[in-house]
Amino acid sequence: APLPRPRIIKPLSDQLISQIAAGEVVDRPSAVVKELLENALDAGATQITIRLEQGGVKRIAITDNGCGIPPEQLALALARHATSKIASLDDLENVGTLGFRGEALASIASVAQVTITSRTADGEHAWEISGSHESQPTPSSGPVGTTIDVRELYFNTPARRKFLKSDQTEFGHCSEAVRRIALSRPDVAFSLSHNGKTVDHWNAGGIDKRSLQIFGDEFAEVRLPLDEDSGELRLSGFVGLPTAARNRADSQYFYVNGRFVRDKLLTHAVRMAYQDVLHGDRFPSYVLWLDLDPAQVDVNVHPSKIEVRFRDGRAIHQFIFHAVSRALARTSATDGGSVPG
Residues that bind ligand ADP (CB under 6 A): 35, 39-40, 43, 64, 66-69, 77, 83-85, 99-106, 146
Tell me how far, at minimum, the Cβ of 41 lies from Mg ion, in Å.
10
Which of Mg ion, ligand ADP, none sits in contact with 64, Cβ below 5 to 8 A by type? ligand ADP
Which of Mg ion, ligand ADP, none sits in contact with 120, Cβ below 5 to 8 A by type? none
Backbone torsions φ then ψ of 296, nearest 5 degrees:
-90, 0
Backbone torsions φ then ψ of 283, nearest 5 degrees:
-120, 125
Closest to ligand ADP by CB, 104 or 224: 104
- The sign of the CA dihedral 104, 185, 243, 227 is positive
Interface ranges with Mg ion (CB under 5 A): 39, 99, 104
Residue nearest ligand ADP, Cβ-based: 99
Tell me how far, at minimum, the Cβ of 86 lies from ligand ADP, in Å.
8
Whether 77 and 67 have beta carbons less than 8 Å apart is answered as no
Closest to ligand ADP by CB, 83 or 252: 83
For 2, other C-beta atoms within 10 Å of its C-beta total 4
The residue among 280, 214, 278 whose CA lies nearest residue 251 is 214
Tell me how far, at minimum, the Cβ of 152 lies from Mg ion, in Å.
21
Which of ligand ADP, Mg ion, none sits in contact with 15, Cβ below 5 to 8 A by type? none
Closest to ligand ADP by CB, 104 or 288: 104
Tell me how far, at minimum, the Cβ of 142 lies from ligand ADP, in Å.
13
Q: What CA–CA distance (Å, rounded) separates 151 from 115?
A: 9
Looking at the chain, how many residues does it have? Answer: 341
Contacts of 87-92 with CB under 8 Å at 24 or more apart are: 92/300
Q: Is 81 helix (H, G, I), strand (E, B) or coil?
A: coil
Closest to ligand ADP by CB, 101 or 271: 101
